[in-house]
């Protein structure tokens, strides 16, 4: 009997949440059911997801920022199908396959000057792991410095550079690392001047909360790293490949890091791929002789389908001028929301670059709303955000997320293919839910308190 994926999907359709609750992550299943995100999507195309009834959902999450070129882009699909049909000699390991060379050449050409060598990985966190390890190996130093609110992935090395207690707390001793406040060069210099720091690792724009650097911060950090012999690692896993309106966010501030990590947007969303880019100096220190040629290595790293997906994705990004589109549409969203939502007392600001956007709320001044705000925050630090994401999904079919633990911030990471129609639909929907949550008591507040009660029941059960 031959295997048929279409038959399998039809036979088992609808068992999604039951299977996940039993075999994968019952806690996540409960969360999705509680907030009403327990949809069953039939397909994804461009900026949209579709359910069985053909209802379209505008995807402003894009798989945590992997679908920069849109879901199931035909060019990326075709390239992968062609690569499969050619029966390529994949992962011989004891050879130098062409596609990895071509993709590495392109990445080196697109990234800052200092970056001359590429190590391919299978995810963002694996790229960060690689960068931290290479930095330790190249400097002979132990300590890593990172910023508060930082997020670099959840494996043990990357977790050592995580600025959020909720992620780190239960997992004991990690790599030797020190947290400094983001946007504070004095605190950074105090650490680096001890001359035991292998690397300072930083996201050019922080993903958790979408915090932007002050104008001279990243240049200043890079200069301090050079002064004290610390390697400067720029983590562009989320900001890369057009997300912020430039191919890489480093371009906004003219940076030239010693190491740079990329992943997410490079894959077109179809095959996992990531990379660490490094200077020749770092490469030579670690891969110092023939004996050391695989001192850092991973089995699936340069696999031909991932390389194909990466090459096709880069070509689509430029051919369709998606980076320019990200800059334009991002600006349009921020400008419109900042204007239309300014009269609402709990709305703080829309900020970001390109299509990496935070919509932040703040404590109200009026007595009525203060009561609601206090009650919601007492019930759960992340609940206010759900008061917006839940109706955005339920009423307007827009998928968004809360930007991090205990934040009153909604984060937008749409595909870079969105046009005026999608911007308009999102802004109209967001204006409605913002207006709704300024009516207290009623609508959104009841929904949120209902969520809190449901969550309590589910935790007890
Ligand atoms: C800046 C940054 N670095 C690293 C990672 C980890 O990537 P992955 O989830 O592919 O392991 C992420 C993921 O969100 C990220 O945003």
The DSSP secondary structure of 398-436, one letter per residue, reads EE-EE-STT--EEEE---TT--HHHHHHHHHHHHHHHHH
Residue 203 alpha carbon, nearest atom of ligand 1:
1
CA dihedral 297, 259, 112, 357 (to 10 degrees): 100
Interstrand relation of 231-235 and 259-262 (parallel, antiparallel or unpaired): parallel
Ligand 1 mean position, distance from CA 123 (Å): 8
User: Domains (ranges, CATH) in the chain?
Assistant: 35-69+321-460 (3.90.1150.10), 75-319 (3.40.640.10)
Sheet strands side by side (includes 115-121)? 115-121, 274-279, 259-262, 231-235, 197-202, 143-147, 177-180
pLDDT, mean of residues 82-88? 97
Q: Are 30 and 41 in contact (CB under 8 A)?
A: no
Check pocket membership of 207 for ligand 1, CB cut-off 6 A: yes
Band (pLDDT 50/70/90 cuts) for residue 10 is: very high
* Polymer length of the chain: 461
Residue nearest atom 13 of ligand 1, based on CA coordinates: 153
Q: What is the Cα–Cα distance from 81 to 271, expressed in whole angstroms?
A: 12
DSSP category for residue 176? S
Q: What is the Cα–Cα distance from 201 to 182, expressed in whole angstroms?
A: 11
Band (pLDDT 50/70/90 cuts) for residue 461 is: low
Give percent of the chain with pLDDT exceeding 70.
Answer: 98
Task: Give all strands (DSSP E) within 2-69, no chain letters.
Answer: 41-45, 48-51, 56-59
pLDDT, mean of residues 417-445? 94
pLDDT of 381 reads 85
Q: Are 128 and 117 in contact (CB under 8 A)?
A: no
Helices 443-460/420-436 angle, 10° precision? 90
Ligand 1 mean position, distance from CA 97 (Å): 27
CA-atom Rg of the chain in angstroms: 23
The residue whose CB lies within 8 Å of the most ligand 1 atoms, and thus the one to mutate among 63, 122, 124, 267, is 124
Check pocket membership of 153 for ligand 1, CB cut-off 6 A: yes
Q: What is the Cα–Cα distance from 83 to 354, expressed in whole angstroms?
A: 32
Q: What is the Cα–Cα distance from 116 to 277, expressed in whole angstroms?
A: 7
Band (pLDDT 50/70/90 cuts) for residue 460 is: low
Q: Which residue has the tokens 């200069």?
A: 223
Band (pLDDT 50/70/90 cuts) for residue 257 is: very high
pLDDT, mean of residues 395-403? 96
Ligand 1 mean position, distance from CA 439 (Å): 37
Give percent of the chain with pLDDT exceeding 90.
Answer: 90
pLDDT of 1 reads 67
Interstrand relation of 56-59 and 398-399 (parallel, antiparallel or unpaired): parallel
The residue whose CB lies within 8 Å of the most ligand 1 atoms, and thus the one to mutate among 263, 403, 404, is 263
pLDDT, mean of residues 294-314? 96
C-alpha distances out from residue 105 to 115, 117, 185, 372, Å: 11, 9, 34, 55
pLDDT, mean of residues 41-51? 98
Band (pLDDT 50/70/90 cuts) for residue 458 is: low
Band (pLDDT 50/70/90 cuts) for residue 380 is: confident
User: Is residue 459 pLDDT above 60, yes or no?
Assistant: no
Band (pLDDT 50/70/90 cuts) for residue 444 is: confident
Q: What is the Cα–Cα distance from 192 to 371, expressed in whole angstroms?
A: 46
Report how far Cα 276 is from the mean position of its chain's Cα atoms.
16
Band (pLDDT 50/70/90 cuts) for residue 155 is: very high
User: Is residue 449 pLDDT above 60, yes or no?
Assistant: yes
Check pocket membership of 132 for ligand 1, CB cut-off 6 A: no
pLDDT, mean of residues 169-188? 95
Q: What is the Cα–Cα distance from 385 to 402, expressed in whole angstroms?
A: 6
Average pLDDT, the chain: 96
pLDDT of 382 reads 85
Q: Tens of pLDDT along 207-238?
A: 999 999 999 999 999 999 999 999 999 999 99
Q: Indicate the pTM of the whole model.
A: 0.97
DSSP category for residue 24? I
pLDDT of 391 reads 95
Band (pLDDT 50/70/90 cuts) for residue 448 is: confident
Q: What is the Cα–Cα distance from 289 to 416, expressed in whole angstroms?
A: 43
Q: Are 93 and 298 in contact (CB under 8 A)?
A: no
The residue whose CB lies within 8 Å of the most ligand 1 atoms, and thus the one to mutate among 237, 276, 300, is 237
Check pocket membership of 372 for ligand 1, CB cut-off 6 A: no
């Amino acid at each position: 009997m031959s295997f048929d994926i279409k038959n399998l999907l039809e036979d088992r359709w609808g068992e999604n949440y039951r299977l996940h609750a039993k075999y994968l992550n019952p806690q996540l299943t409960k969360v999705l059911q509680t907030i009403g995100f327990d949809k069953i999507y039939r397909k994804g195309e461009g900026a949209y997801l579709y359910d069985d009834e053909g209802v379209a959902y505008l995807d402003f999450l894009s798989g945590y920022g992997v679908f920069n070129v849109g879901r199931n882009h035909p060019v990326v699909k075709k390239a992968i199908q062609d690569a499969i049909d050619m029966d390529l000699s994949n992962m011989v390991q004891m050879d130098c396959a062409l596609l990895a060379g071509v993709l590495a050449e392109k990445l080196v050409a697109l990234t800052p000057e200092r970056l001359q060598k590429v190590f391919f990985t299978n995810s963002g966190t694996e790229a960060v792991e690689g960068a931290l390890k290479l930095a330790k190996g190249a400097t002979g130093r132990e300590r890593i410095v990172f910023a508060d609110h930082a997020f670099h992935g959840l494996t043990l090395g990357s977790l050592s550079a995580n600025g959020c207690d909720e992620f780190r707390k239960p997992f004991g001793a990690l790599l030797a690392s020190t947290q400094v406040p983001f946007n504070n060069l004095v605190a950074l210099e105090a650490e680096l001047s001890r001359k035991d720091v292998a690397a300072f690792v930083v996201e050019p724009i922080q993903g958790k909360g979408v915090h932007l650097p002050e104008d001279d911060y990243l240049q200043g950090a890079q200069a301090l790293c050079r002064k004290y012999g610390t390697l400067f690692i720029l983590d562009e896993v989320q900001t890369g490949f057009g997300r912020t309106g430039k191919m890489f966010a480093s371009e906004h501030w003219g940076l030239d890091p010693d190491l740079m990590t990329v992943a997410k947007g490079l894959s077109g969303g179809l095959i996992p791929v990531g990379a660490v880019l490094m200077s020749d100096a770092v490469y030579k220190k670690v891969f110092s002789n023939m004996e050391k040629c695989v001192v850092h290595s991973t089995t699936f790293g340069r696999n031909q389908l991932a390389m194909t997906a990466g090459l096709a994705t880069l070509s689509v990004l430029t051919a369709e001028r998606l980076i320019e589109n990200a800059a334009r549409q991002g600006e349009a969203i921020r400008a419109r929301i900042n204007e239309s939502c300014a009269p609402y007392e709990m709305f703080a600001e829309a900020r970001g670059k390109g299509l990496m956007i935070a919509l932040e709320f703040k404590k109200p001044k009026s007595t009525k709303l203060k009561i609601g705000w206090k009650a919601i925050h007492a019930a759960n630090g992340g609940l206010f955000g759900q008061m917006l994401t839940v109706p955005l999904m339920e009423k307007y079919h827009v998928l968004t997320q809360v930007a991090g633990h205990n934040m009153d911030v909604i984060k937008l990471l749409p595909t870079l293919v969105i046009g005026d129609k999608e911007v308009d639909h999102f802004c109209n929907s967001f204006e409605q839910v913002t207006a709704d949550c300024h009516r207290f008591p009623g609508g959104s507040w009841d929904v949120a308190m209902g969520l809190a009660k449901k969550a309590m029941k589910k935790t007890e059960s």
